[in-house]
Amino acid sequence: GAGVSQTPSNKVTEKGKYVELRCDPISGHTALYWYRQSLGQGPEFLIYFQGTGAADDSGLPNDRFFAVRPEGSVSTLKIQRTERGDSAVYLCASSSQPGTSTDTQYFGPGTRLTVL
Amino acid sequence: AQSVAQPEDQVNVAEGNPLTVKCTYSVSGNPYLFWYVQYPNRGLQFLLKYITGDNLVKGSYGFEAEFNKSQTSFHLKKPSALVSDSALYFCAVTHRGAGNNRKLIWGLGTSLAVNP
């Protein structure tokens, strides 16, 4: 596609439920990033994929959060036992020259997650 | 640790006047600096970046930014503001993490309001 797409655009769930957020990166981009943006804050890094593997998951807040990218393209962020504090906009970005100084991340529109 | 500061929560400017959105940074080593813009209910859009070379960087939509190493600043500028420039602007710096990850470290954002 022309840009990064994310689905759903909005997700409302109840505390304790499981959710999956999907990201479809720009075609051919090998690097994929997940960030979380809380209200009034800048984005906060969660996890980075290079190809199929999670090369850096140091930003995941706890073991309720997990992400996969099984075929090196689409990625799914999974949150178990959701808590109200998980409410935020989850952003996905992709890039074509990871690890280089000229690399630029391009972002999707985000998924707004609300945990009631 | 890498960090970015945007000292102004909000900037107001009249249409047609020049605008400046401020950003200062703290990094070890050479900084790779970025500006993104976020419109309501839309994702982050890349505006411009500084990697090396000329201190004045030109980007999308008539924006430019000036890198000043001695003042550790990377202010965003535009000679003549448009009402359509009203949005949330984020400054970011890359941080090298595990696995060649170049995650972005973000400021808190500055809300720009251009008044007709």
- Nearest CB among A40, A56, A102 relative to B99 is that of A56
DSSP 8-state code for residue A26? P
- Residues B97, A107: C-beta atoms closer than 8 Å: no
Q: Are the C-beta atoms of residues A67 and A75 closer than 8 Å to each other?
A: yes
**How far is Cα A27 from Cα A56, in angstroms, rounded to an integer?**
22
Judge whether residue B4 has pLDDT over 80. Answer: yes
Partners of residue A50 in chain B, C-beta under 8 Å: 99-101
Per the listing, tokens 């990033």 go with: A33
pLDDT (0 to 100) of residue B15: 97
The residue of A26, A101, A102 whose CB has the most chain B CBs within 10 angstroms, and thus the best one to mutate to test that interface, is: A101
Average pLDDT on B15-31 reads 92
The confidence score (pLDDT) of residue B95 equals 75
Of A86, A109, A107, A105, the C-alpha closest to A96 is: A105
At the top level of CATH, which class does the domain A5-99 belong to? mainly beta
Q: Which CATH class is domain B3-115?
A: mainly beta
- Smallest CA-to-CA distance from A80 within A22, A18, A34 is with A18
B85 against B51, higher pLDDT: B85
Residue B92 scores a pLDDT above 90: yes
What is the residue-averaged pLDDT of chain B? Answer: 92
pLDDT beneath 70: ranges in chain A: 1
Whether chain A has a CB inside 8 Å of the CB on B40: the answer is no
Q: Which of A43, A50, A105 sits opposite B99 (nearest CB)?
A: A50
B29 touches chain A (CB under 8 A): no
Q: Among all residues of chain A, which has the CA nearest to that of B98? A: A56
Q: Which sequence spans correspond to the domains of chain B? A: 3-115
Put simply, the answer to whether B52 touches A101 (Cβ < 8 Å) is yes
Q: Are strands B64-68 and B73-78 parallel, antiparallel or unpaired?
A: antiparallel
Task: Considering only residues A96 and B99, tell me which one the structure prediction assigns the higher pLDDT.
Answer: A96
- Please name which of A69, A77, A2, A5 lies closest in space to residue A31, comparing C-alpha atoms: A69
Q: Judged by CB atoms within 8 Å, which residues 58-87 of B form the interface with A?
A: none
Span B26-64, pLDDT tens digits: 988 778 899 999 998 778 999 999 988 889 999 999 999
What are the structure tokens assigned to A72, written together? 């090196």
- pLDDT of B89 over the 60 cut: yes
**How many angstroms separate the CA of residue A28 from the nearest CA in chain B?**
18
Give the model's pLDDT for residue A71. Answer: 92
Length of chain A: 116
Spatial separation of the C-alpha atoms in residues B112 and B11, rounded to whole Å: 5
For every residue of A58-77, DSSP letters joined together read TT--STTEEEE-TTSS-EEE
Average pLDDT over residues B92-99: 78
